[in-house]
Protein backbone atom coordinates (compact mmCIF):
# COMPACT_ATOMS: atom_id res chain seq x y z
CA UNK A 1 0.00 0.00 0.00
CA UNK A 2 2.85 2.38 0.87
CA UNK A 3 4.61 1.76 -2.45
CA UNK A 4 1.44 2.54 -4.40
CA UNK A 5 0.80 5.70 -2.41
CA UNK A 6 4.39 6.88 -2.87
CA UNK A 7 4.09 6.16 -6.60
CA UNK A 8 0.89 8.18 -6.82
CA UNK A 9 2.56 11.10 -5.07
CA UNK A 10 5.55 10.94 -7.44
CA UNK A 11 3.25 10.73 -10.48
CA UNK A 12 2.28 14.39 -10.05
CA UNK A 13 5.73 15.96 -10.44
CA UNK A 14 6.77 13.28 -12.96
CA UNK A 15 3.89 14.22 -15.27
CA UNK A 16 3.47 17.94 -14.63
CA UNK A 17 7.02 19.28 -14.24
CA UNK A 18 9.58 19.59 -17.07
CA UNK A 19 11.55 16.40 -17.73
CA UNK A 20 14.40 18.23 -19.42
CA UNK A 21 15.19 21.66 -20.77
CA UNK A 22 17.07 22.16 -24.01
CA UNK A 23 18.80 25.49 -24.61
CA UNK A 24 19.91 26.31 -28.15
CA UNK A 25 21.50 29.71 -28.80
CA UNK A 26 20.05 31.08 -25.59
CA UNK A 27 16.49 29.96 -26.29
CA UNK A 28 15.25 27.39 -23.76
CA UNK A 29 12.47 24.87 -24.34
CA UNK A 30 11.14 22.65 -21.54
CA UNK A 31 8.65 19.77 -21.94
CA UNK A 32 6.52 17.70 -19.62
CA UNK A 33 5.18 14.20 -20.23
CA UNK A 34 1.66 15.51 -20.76
CA UNK A 35 2.97 18.24 -23.06
CA UNK A 36 4.62 15.56 -25.21
CA UNK A 37 1.26 13.88 -25.81
CA UNK A 38 -0.33 17.28 -26.46
CA UNK A 39 2.28 18.15 -29.10
CA UNK A 40 1.63 14.85 -30.87
CA UNK A 41 -2.07 15.66 -30.88
CA UNK A 42 -1.42 19.12 -32.34
CA UNK A 43 0.72 17.53 -35.07
CA UNK A 44 -2.33 15.41 -36.05
CA UNK A 45 -0.89 12.21 -34.63
CA UNK A 46 -3.99 11.71 -32.47
CA UNK A 47 -3.58 7.92 -32.26
CA UNK A 48 0.02 8.24 -31.10
CA UNK A 49 -0.91 11.01 -28.65
CA UNK A 50 -3.64 8.80 -27.20
CA UNK A 51 -1.28 5.84 -26.93
CA UNK A 52 1.46 7.90 -25.26
CA UNK A 53 -0.99 9.48 -22.84
CA UNK A 54 -2.71 6.21 -21.94
CA UNK A 55 0.44 4.07 -21.59
CA UNK A 56 2.69 6.58 -19.85
CA UNK A 57 0.37 8.79 -17.84
CA UNK A 58 -3.13 7.43 -17.37
CA UNK A 59 -2.64 3.66 -17.06
CA UNK A 60 0.21 3.81 -14.51
CA UNK A 61 -1.79 6.20 -12.32
CA UNK A 62 -4.91 4.02 -12.56
CA UNK A 63 -2.90 0.85 -11.82
CA UNK A 64 -1.31 2.46 -8.76
CA UNK A 65 -4.71 3.73 -7.62
CA UNK A 66 -6.28 0.28 -7.99
CA UNK A 67 -3.39 -1.37 -6.11
CA UNK A 68 -3.73 1.19 -3.32
CA UNK A 69 -7.51 0.72 -3.17
CA UNK A 70 -7.25 -3.09 -3.07
CA UNK A 71 -4.68 -2.97 -0.27
CA UNK A 72 -6.75 -0.42 1.64
CA UNK A 73 -9.96 -2.41 1.27
CA UNK A 74 -8.24 -5.60 2.39
CA UNK A 75 -6.70 -3.86 5.39
CA UNK A 76 -10.10 -2.57 6.56
CA UNK A 77 -11.68 -5.99 5.84
CA UNK A 78 -14.09 -4.62 3.24
CA UNK A 79 -16.68 -6.91 1.66
CA UNK A 80 -15.42 -9.18 -1.10
CA UNK A 81 -17.86 -7.69 -3.59
CA UNK A 82 -15.89 -4.43 -3.45
CA UNK A 83 -12.46 -5.98 -3.92
CA UNK A 84 -13.21 -8.46 -6.73
CA UNK A 85 -14.04 -5.88 -9.47
CA UNK A 86 -10.88 -3.95 -8.64
CA UNK A 87 -8.74 -7.07 -9.00
CA UNK A 88 -10.40 -7.87 -12.32
CA UNK A 89 -9.73 -4.38 -13.65
CA UNK A 90 -6.16 -4.54 -12.35
CA UNK A 91 -5.42 -7.61 -14.45
CA UNK A 92 -6.59 -5.81 -17.59
CA UNK A 93 -4.84 -2.53 -16.86
CA UNK A 94 -1.34 -3.81 -16.13
CA UNK A 95 -0.71 -4.51 -19.80
CA UNK A 96 -1.21 -0.84 -20.65
CA UNK A 97 1.17 0.71 -18.12
CA UNK A 98 4.47 0.98 -20.00
CA UNK A 99 6.72 3.22 -17.98
CA UNK A 100 9.81 1.18 -18.90
CA UNK A 101 9.27 1.80 -22.62
CA UNK A 102 8.73 5.50 -22.02
CA UNK A 103 11.95 5.65 -19.99
CA UNK A 104 13.88 4.15 -22.89
CA UNK A 105 12.40 6.81 -25.17
CA UNK A 106 13.47 9.54 -22.77
CA UNK A 107 17.02 8.16 -22.60
CA UNK A 108 17.28 7.97 -26.40
CA UNK A 109 15.98 11.53 -26.72
CA UNK A 110 18.39 12.70 -24.04
CA UNK A 111 21.39 11.16 -25.81
CA UNK A 112 20.37 12.55 -29.22
CA UNK A 113 19.63 16.05 -27.91
CA UNK A 114 22.89 16.38 -25.96
CA UNK A 115 24.65 17.28 -29.22
CA UNK A 116 22.16 20.01 -30.10
CA UNK A 117 22.70 22.35 -27.17
CA UNK A 118 22.74 22.65 -23.40
CA UNK A 119 20.52 19.97 -21.92
CA UNK A 120 19.40 20.14 -18.30
CA UNK A 121 17.56 17.37 -16.52
CA UNK A 122 14.46 18.59 -14.71
CA UNK A 123 12.94 17.51 -11.41
CA UNK A 124 10.37 15.46 -13.31
CA UNK A 125 13.12 13.16 -14.60
CA UNK A 126 14.16 12.27 -11.05
CA UNK A 127 10.52 11.88 -10.05
CA UNK A 128 9.90 9.70 -13.10
CA UNK A 129 12.86 7.43 -12.32
CA UNK A 130 11.67 7.08 -8.71
CA UNK A 131 8.12 6.44 -9.98
CA UNK A 132 9.42 3.76 -12.35
CA UNK A 133 11.33 2.06 -9.54
CA UNK A 134 8.36 2.20 -7.14
CA UNK A 135 5.97 1.02 -9.85
CA UNK A 136 8.12 -2.02 -10.64
CA UNK A 137 8.74 -2.74 -6.96
CA UNK A 138 5.05 -2.57 -6.14
CA UNK A 139 4.33 -4.82 -9.14
CA UNK A 140 6.83 -7.36 -7.80
CA UNK A 141 5.29 -7.50 -4.31
CA UNK A 142 1.62 -7.31 -5.33
CA UNK A 143 0.30 -10.83 -5.94
CA UNK A 144 -3.22 -10.79 -7.39
CA UNK A 145 -3.38 -14.61 -7.68
CA UNK A 146 -2.77 -14.96 -3.95
CA UNK A 147 -5.42 -12.31 -3.30
CA UNK A 148 -7.90 -14.20 -5.52
CA UNK A 149 -7.23 -17.35 -3.49
CA UNK A 150 -7.79 -15.47 -0.23
CA UNK A 151 -10.99 -13.96 -1.60
CA UNK A 152 -12.21 -17.38 -2.70
CA UNK A 153 -11.43 -18.87 0.73
CA UNK A 154 -13.22 -15.98 2.40
CA UNK A 155 -16.20 -16.39 0.10
CA UNK A 156 -16.33 -20.13 0.83
CA UNK A 157 -16.21 -19.36 4.55
CA UNK A 158 -19.06 -16.84 4.20
CA UNK A 159 -21.15 -19.40 2.30
CA UNK A 160 -20.49 -22.04 4.97
CA UNK A 161 -21.51 -19.62 7.72
CA UNK A 162 -24.64 -18.59 5.81
CA UNK A 163 -25.66 -22.20 5.17
CA UNK A 164 -25.10 -23.08 8.85
CA UNK A 165 -27.29 -20.13 9.93
CA UNK A 166 -30.06 -21.14 7.53
CA UNK A 167 -29.98 -24.75 8.81
CA UNK A 168 -30.35 -23.60 12.43
pLDDT digit string, tens, across residues 101-119: 778 777 787 787 777 778 8
Look at residue 36 in the predicted model and tell me its pLDDT. 86
Whether the model pTM is above 0.85: no
CA distance linking residue 93 with residue 60, whole number of Å: 8
Question: Which residues face 27 on adjacent strands?
Answer: 24
Look at residue 131 in the predicted model and tell me its pLDDT. 93
Kind and range of the H or E element at 22?
A: strand 20-24
Mean pLDDT of the chain: 84
pLDDT band of residue 158 (cuts 50, 70, 90) is low
55-82 tens-digit pLDDT: 889 999 999 999 999 999 988 988 888 8
Amino acid sequence: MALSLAGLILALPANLLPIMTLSILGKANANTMINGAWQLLQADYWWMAALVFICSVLAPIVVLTVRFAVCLLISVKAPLRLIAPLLKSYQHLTHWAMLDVYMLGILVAFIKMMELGDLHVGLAMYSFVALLLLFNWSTAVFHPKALWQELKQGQDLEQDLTSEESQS
